[in-house]
């Protein structure tokens, strides 16, 4: 019991880091599902659309818990510099730097998502696409610094999640249609329908 209490902050940090990574993956998967041909956009309840944003916000919350766990843990010192400045820590500086970069990408994506209606769509979309590098950087961080990387359950779960994100991302890239082409196709369909009704 004493050992568990002494390492509680470390366990919290590890668990919250894994959960944050899984939530980022879930947000990407759900975003691809909504924006691709996997679901018809018409008739989708509003809460399903909001779920994508909530998953991202939950990822931020668990990332903050992850950082708080690192600060509370006494085994390695983590202060402001170690948490927010890449290569400032002596404990696995490279692996930690990946995590810091992932944190900044996550925050940028969430801020622009909250300001989506006040921003030009191109800028918002460009920042939103950083979710893919975020997932890659977060994955590298987890495997380089994570104490659970040798755990078989974590390995297989991570492999399945990585394959799912990669597969859906590839599907999205292969079926992507620019907005201009969508508008042109819709206009042609409307014109054809008008000709048929007139004939």
pLDDT tens digits along 42-86: 656 677 778 988 999 999 999 999 999 999 988 888 999 999 999
Q: What residues does each domain of the chain span?
A: 2-198
Nearest to 59 by CA among 98, 29, 31, 21: 21
Residue 186 is predicted with a pLDDT of 45
Burial 5-25 (b: 16+ CB within 10 A, else e): eeeebbebbbebbbbbbbbbb
Using CB atoms within 10 Å of the CB of residue 28, give its burial: 0 to 12 exposed, 13 to 18 middle, 19+ buried. Answer: buried
CA-CA distance, 137 to 155, in Å (whole number)?
17
Percent of the chain with pLDDT over 90: 60
Q: Cα-flanking dihedrals φ and ψ of residue 40, to 5°? A: -80, 130
CA distance to 18, 40, 84, 159, 170, per residue, from 166 (Å): 18, 22, 29, 10, 6
Using CB atoms within 10 Å of the CB of residue 69, give its burial: 0 to 12 exposed, 13 to 18 middle, 19+ buried. Answer: buried
CA-CA distance, 95 to 12, in Å (whole number)?
19
Write down the mean pLDDT value for the chain.
85
Residue 38 is predicted with a pLDDT of 67
Q: Half-sphere exposure (CA, 13 Å, Cβ side) for 22?
A: 13
Question: What pTM did the predictor assign?
Answer: 0.83
Residue 123 is predicted with a pLDDT of 93
Residue 133 is predicted with a pLDDT of 97
* Maximal CA-CA distance, the chain: 84
CA-CA distance, 97 to 148, in Å (whole number)?
18
Which residues of the chain, if any, have pLDDT below 70?
A: 1-5, 37-45, 179-199
CA-CA distance, 153 to 162, in Å (whole number)?
14
Here the tokens at position 188 are 């042609």
CA-CA distance, 191 to 62, in Å (whole number)?
50
């Amino acid at each position: 019991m004493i050992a568990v209490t002494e390492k509680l902050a470390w366990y919290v940090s590890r668990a919250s880091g894994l959960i944050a990574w899984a939530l980022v993956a879930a947000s990407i998967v759900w975003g691809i599902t909504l924006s691709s041909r996997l679901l018809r956009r018409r008739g989708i309840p509003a809460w399903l659309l909001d779920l994508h944003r909530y998953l991202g916000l939950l990822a931020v919350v668990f990332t903050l818990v992850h950082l708080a766990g690192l600060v509370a843990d006494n085994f390695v010192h983590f202060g402001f510099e170690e948490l927010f400045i890449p290569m400032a820590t002596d404990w696995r500086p490279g692996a930690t730097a990946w995590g810091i970069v992932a944190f900044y990408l996550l925050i940028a994506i969430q801020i622009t998502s909250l300001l989506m209606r006040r921003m030009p769509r191109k800028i918002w979309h460009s920042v939103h696409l950083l979710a893919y590098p975020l997932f890659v950087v977060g994955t590298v961080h987890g495997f380089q610094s994570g104490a659970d990387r040798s755990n078989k359950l974590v390995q297989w779960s991570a492999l399945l999640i990585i394959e799912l994100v990669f597969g859906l991302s590839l599907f999205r890239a292969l079926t992507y249609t620019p907005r201009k082409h969508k508008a042109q196709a819709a206009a042609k369909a409307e014109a054809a329908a008008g000709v048929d009704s007139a004939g």
